Amino acid sequence: MKDARFLSMLFCAAVVAAFWRAPAPGPAEFFAPPVSQAMSVEAPAGEESLPAVAPFSHSVNLAETPDGRLAAVWFSGSKEAESDVAIWMSIRGASGWSAPRAIATPETTSAGTGAFVRTLGNAVLAVAGGKLHLFYVSVGYGGWAASSLNHAVSDDEGATWSAPKKLVTSPFLNISTLARGAALPLTDGGFGLPVYHELLDKRGEWLRLSAEGDILAKTRLPSERRALQPSVAALDGRRALAILRDSGVGAGLLMAAVTEDGGDSWRALPSLPIVNEDSFAALLRLRDGRLLLAANPAPGKARNPLVLFISETGDAWKVLCTVERSARGDENFAYPSLLQSRDGLIHLAYTRNYRALAHRVFAPDFSGCAP
């Protein structure tokens, strides 16, 4: 009987969450730098790995700190969804990546939010108001579909963090909100965060947040099929493109949506002719106006190879280069994160076989990256 009541509550929560939309406080504007010519910059040769901290490492996310350094966050532990999983952070300086530090654990998250926390998941860094904002997933009971989204702030470049708080993203039970895609800055000092819902339904969503990280609005991202893990790139002040991962029940094609009012409303676009069946795809607007996409264009459960695509407008895509490929079917190069730093260099980080996190740097002309 208790199980039946619990399942009934979950069903009601999913129904309410599906139709709930937080009211927008007014028009939003994306902070989209004007299109500029590609910078003539040379990228360092080769690749590097982020420092290892545990047997399992996954879901790395890149950001540029207020003082201009490259920062990475990810989750690591003995294996996915175990109680020893923590959110780790490393910052890259002149001498390379710093020794990683655990900036969130199940224990610190439970102490800050007052909720039972069994494990942690995807983490995203954002910058607003000269501060670093950390958003990360936690699970108490159940699996990823019962996740909550937490938020912490650092005003000293990530050296220390505030106690985390659980964001209220749904009016009933407040579960099943997960983050993965990079946050986008807004001209009001806040940012937009692409998230997704997994309980009974799978869909992308868009959160508008203040400079303090408070939720100001929530909007559903429409899609042709059930979708996960949106990644969003601003095209100009009012328009943005979202790319969404197929949930595994469709043709495996990447789906797309567009907004023309700063994220207040979205409409679905035709699917991209790119098969990316079981992995997150990262989207980035480059300073020269082109769109860069990192994806796993393979059918089935393959997360191999990892390929970069380029597009002038988002309508047509061509292969730019293959980052990594292996003939072994059990190798994975997945969950990419893209960033163009202030010096014009393009950074790519991704999971390699869930044991290591790779970091590659490209010049704006992508010289040295072969198809």
Whole-number Å distance between alpha carbons of 195 and 207: 7
SS (H, E, C) 81-136: CCCCCEEEEEEEECCEECCCEEEECHHHHHHHHCCCCCEEEEEEEEEECCEEEEEE
H-state helical runs in the chain = 2-19, 106-113
Superfamily of domain 57-182: Glycosyl hydrolase domain; family 43 (2.115.10.20)
**pLDDT tens digit at each of 371 positions of the chain:** 445 554 555 555 554 454 455 555 677 899 877 787 666 677 776 789 999 999 999 999 999 999 999 999 999 999 999 999 999 999 999 889 999 999 999 999 999 999 999 999 999 999 988 999 999 999 999 999 999 999 999 999 999 999 999 999 987 678 999 999 999 999 999 999 999 999 989 999 999 999 999 999 999 999 989 999 999 999 999 999 999 999 877 679 999 999 999 999 999 999 999 999 889 999 999 999 999 999 999 888 889 999 999 999 999 999 999 999 998 777 899 999 999 999 999 999 999 999 999 999 999 999 878 77
Distance CA 169, CA 262 (A): 20
Give residue 226's Cα distance to chain centre. Answer: 18
The one-letter code for the residue type at 305 is P
Residue 312 neighbours by CB distance under 10 Å: 12
Q: Are 296 and 305 in contact (CB under 8 A)?
A: yes
- Name the DSSP letter for residue 145: G
**Which pLDDT does position 301 carry in this prediction?**
80
Tell me, what's the pLDDT at 223?
Answer: 93
Please name every residue paired with 158 in a beta bridge, in sequence order, or none if there are none: none
Cα→Cα distances 172→15, 54, 85, 239, Å? 9, 36, 27, 31
Asked if 260 and 251 touch (Cβ cutoff 8 Å), the reply is no
Q: Strands, DSSP E only, in 177-225?
A: 178-179, 184-185, 191-197, 203-209, 215-221
Strand partners, 136: 123, 150
Residue 38 DSSP code: P
**Beta-bridge partners for 178:** 196
What is the helix (H) or strand (E) element at residue 15, kind and residue range? helix 2-19
* Residue 307, H or E segment: strand 306-311
Distances (CA, A) of 158 to 100, 152, 153, 278: 11, 10, 8, 32
What is the pLDDT, as a whole number, of residue 2?
A: 44
